[in-house]
Structure 1
Amino acid sequence: MPLHVPDTELDPSLRDEVDALPADETPPAIISISDIHGYLDAARSALLTLTDHPETEPVVVADEDGRLHWADENYVLVFNGDLVDRGPANDEVLALVARLIEEAPPGRVRVTLGNHEALMLSRDQFSFDNWFSGQVDDEARRRLCEAIIAGHVVAAYRGHNVTYAHAGSDESYDVSAVNESLVSAAEELLAAIGTDDDLAVQGRIIEAYPEVLGVGATHLKGPDAGLIWVDFEHLSTDAPPQVVGHTRHDEPRTNGAVHCQNVIRETLDSRGGETVFVETPEAISALIRQPDGGVEQRPL
């Protein structure tokens, strides 16, 4: 199943940063979740932590069939990469994200490209045929390219005080520039999908846009990898303020000003642990599902 998002293009300013939203409104809180990896139930539990915490309003609400919908509150919701692979409900996760993009006001649901979405773009360059990303057809790849070109899927998103990218960077970078790079890569690939040039272009975009799509020279996640591949261990305490996913932990992890939120897979076999981050202009915190079903809010 491809990621079916609105056909209309998003205004480029809304694509890149929270400050582009209307100035006459109260600044929205930014809710972020990463590395769902096809585990729909865990993602639902994480997103509903706002519903189950007494001091937060819902970002999503469930209908009578259990499907989640936009709650029409003053939020931005960031899916911080790796929606697919590993888990059993990849199609359902993509349907959830597409539905929320459709229901929310423009710019209120943002998706950053994860390395597993990048595997879909360059499907034949990697040996992951047993995963969802390695089995997608050309139509799904086209739809992902179109979602990038339209501004619904980005390399990075600038929040109030942190930048959101799937794996992050040890150095400062220009959010608009990396998003434009990703658009250029998607345009090149879209023109080649299904043609004799497809395989070559899949490889070329990795080399031509290293800041976003580049892999490490000696390891995919090495210190020279791009925004969607570099491992958390290569981000120093001097790295710029960021929220990332990508590297698994059993609870939110902070190193300097970098906060990692990839906890879903490490908490699958335990009660609780599902987490979202909440960023306001004043602070950033984690909402963490507890073993008894309650929710703890923890400053980061």
Structure 2
Amino acid sequence: MPLDITGTPRLSTPLRDSIRSVPNEESSPTIVSISDIHGYLEAARSALLTLADHPGFDPVVVADEDGTLHWANNNYVLVFNGDLIDRGPANEAVLKMVARLIKEAPPGRVRVTLGNHEAILLSTDHFGYSNWFAGQVNVDDRRLFLEPVLAGHVVAAYQGYNVTYAHAGSPDPYSVSEVNESLIKAAKKLADGLGTNDDVRVQQQVIDEHQRVLGVGDGHPKSPGAGLVWLDFAYLPKDAPPQVVGHTRHTTPQRKGQVHCQNVLRNNLDSEGGEAVFVEEPNFLYAVTRCPHSNVKTKILR
């Protein structure tokens, strides 16, 4: 059941879009981000618990006696940078984890950027990946996933202190508020078309009309011309704006100019360690990585 956050309040526009609008406590909130969980719950748990296992950080989440993760009530914003689903065996469990953290954390403290696999869920008849979780959802499932989009909990992009978070990123500057409004407009159209004779047509229409966010590339969905949820890291130039992206798989965090790619979970599934989160403070960006034997190391990225 896709990301059920029933009863969670709608976010205000500034809080939806930017870290600068999150109420400060004693100091500016630290951003923790993770991308491309793809239904691999245990790898995601290991990555999210790296902060709890590092002496230099407070935990962003804590595990109870059953191993279930809960919000740790520290001064963080947690960004799930797209592709929560597909590939792995625990898609619903991952969605339940994210929904639970959204409900437990203060408003605006847990952010989800739309990945291409969530975009497939929105336009499942258009893409037709029936062997994936995203391609097997029904009308009620899609309606349930549209609710957190309309409420501002799932966004196209999120503005950090010095980088923008989006699943695949953009070669050119863009307005976070504008792309998030574009996604809202697309979601409203999809919601109106759900279960009607226009449903399949609308699924294609929103891709065509909201290219900056949902558009696919020429010849291949990830090729040049693709939007924020589809573009491959290979097509982000060195002079692209400062960004943290996922989408394109690597074994270790990658940097190209001012763009940092954090998609490392799947390439490390068969090895001990390798799971990572990024941590952004007002003046620094770190990668915090699980090592063999459960040790944790930190690398300054920016």
Counterpart in the other structure of 2:151: 150
User: How big is the shift at 1:231?
Assistant: 0.3
| Structure 1 residue 267 displacement after superposition | 0.3
For the pair 1:201 / 2:202, whether they are aligned, the reply is yes
Partner-residue secondary structure (3-state), 1:292: helix
Cross-structure match for 1:217: 218
Kindly indicate whether the alpha-carbon contact (under 8 Å) linking 2:126 and 2:203 is maintained by their aligned counterparts in 1: yes
Matched-pair contact (CA < 8 Å) for 2:156–2:228: yes
- Consecutive unaligned residues of structure 1, counting only runs of 5 or more, are none
Q: Is the 8 A contact 2:169 2:231 kept in 1?
A: yes
Q: Distance in 2 between matches of 1:34 and 1:172?
A: 21
Structure 1 position 127, deviation (Å): 2.9
- Report the TM-score when normalising by structure 2: 0.98
The CA deviation at 1:63 is 0.8
Partner of residue 3, structure 1: 3
| Moved beyond 6 Å, runs of 4+ | none
The alpha carbon displacement at 1:147 in A equals: 0.8
Structure 1 position 24, deviation (Å): 5.6
Aligned partner of 1:281 in structure 2 is 282
Q: CA deviation at 1:299?
A: 1.0
Normalised by the length of structure 1, the TM-score is: 0.99
1:182 aligns with 2:183: yes
Aligned equivalents of 2:154, 2:128: Cα separation in 1: 24
| 1:25, distance to aligned residue in structure 2 (A) | 4.0
Q: How much identity, in percent, do the aligned residues show? A: 62
In angstroms, what is the RMSD of aligned CA positions? 0.8
The Cα of 1:6 is off from its aligned counterpart by 4.2
**Helix, strand or coil for the counterpart of 2:289?**
strand
Aligned residue identity for 2:159:
R
Letter in 2 for 1:4: D
User: What does residue range 210-249 of structure 1 map to in structure 2 within 5 Å?
Assistant: 210-249=211-250
Question: For 1:181 and 1:60, how far apart are their aligned partners in 2?
Answer: 31
Q: Once the two structures are superposed, what CA deviation does each residue of 1:211-245 show, in whole Å capped at 9, x if it has no partner?
A: 00000021100111000000000001100000000
1:237 aligned counterpart, secondary structure? coil
Q: Deviations over 1:250-269 (max 9, x none)?
A: 00000000000000110000
Aligned residues of 1:2 and 1:139 also touching (Cα < 8 A): no
Q: What is the aligned residue count?
A: 300
1:120-152 alpha-carbon deviations (Å, 9 max, x no partner): 000011131000000011111111111111001
Deviations 1:148-203 (A, max 9, x none): 11001000000000000000000000000000000000000001111111000000
Q: How does 1:34-49 map to 2 (within 5 A)?
A: 34-49=35-50
| Secondary structure in structure 1 of the residue aligned to 2:247 | coil
Shift of residue 11, structure 1, vs aligned partner: 1.2
Q: How far apart, in 2, do the equivalents of 1:81 and 1:295 lie?
A: 24
Quick one: distance in 2 between partners of 1:6 and 1:239? Answer: 37
Residue in structure 1 matched with residue 273 of structure 2 by the alignment = 272
Ranges in structure 2 where 5+ consecutive residues have no aligned partner: none
